[in-house]
A = this chain, B = another copy of it.
């Protein structure tokens, strides 16, 4: 008995299955057959909705990242919160292991899934960069920061934090804590903020 569904619904079913498989087994080691079995559809159906395996990956990443970026944007634009805190919270909203439903990215950061990793990172950085740059500009106006090249400096902060706080680069919990403190100090310097102005706020959020 053949089940017919609206294209949008099927697409999502496929993406759901793919997401779980890619995350647990890794992209390379997940075969399209694995996906077919899980969704219980035939080969032809999969390729009716997506033009290739990589196309599925891209769609999946878009789905994840747009929700991630939407959240980051909400945080960043909450004018009731001081800028310094908003910056901190926006960055840490990307450190996904903090959050529900998103152990995803913790797992995604496995050596196997290089392609997935790279794609997510790039699209994440691109999405968050303008948001954070705005915040830095605001800080400049308020006089609490002093940044000549806001976009480039922000880029440096984001790029570093998305990589350095990956599981790959964590050796001991000891060194990871040290890295966070160093990151705070360095962020202060890069933003030209008063010494210690970020540290208190941040340590709360980074726990």
Residues of A whose CB lies within 8 Å of any CB of B are 111, 114-115, 117-119, 122, 148-149, 152-153, 155-156, 159-160, 163-164, 168, 178-179, 181-183, 185-186, 189-190, 192
Contacts and interface: CB of A to CB of B under 8 A. Distances in A.
Number of identical monomers bound together in the oligomeric complex = 2
B114 A182 contact: no
A82 to B, nearest CB: 23
A168 B122 CA distance: 9
Contacts of A185: 148-149
Contacts of A122: 168
16 contacts: A111-B119, A114-B114, A118-B118, A148-B182, A148-B185, A149-B181, A149-B182, A152-B178, A152-B179, A153-B186, A159-B160, A159-B164, A186-B190, A189-B190, A189-B192, A190-B190
Nearest to A155: B164
Contacts of A153: 182, 186
A179 B149 CA distance: 8
A5 to B, nearest CB: 32
Nearest to A192: B189
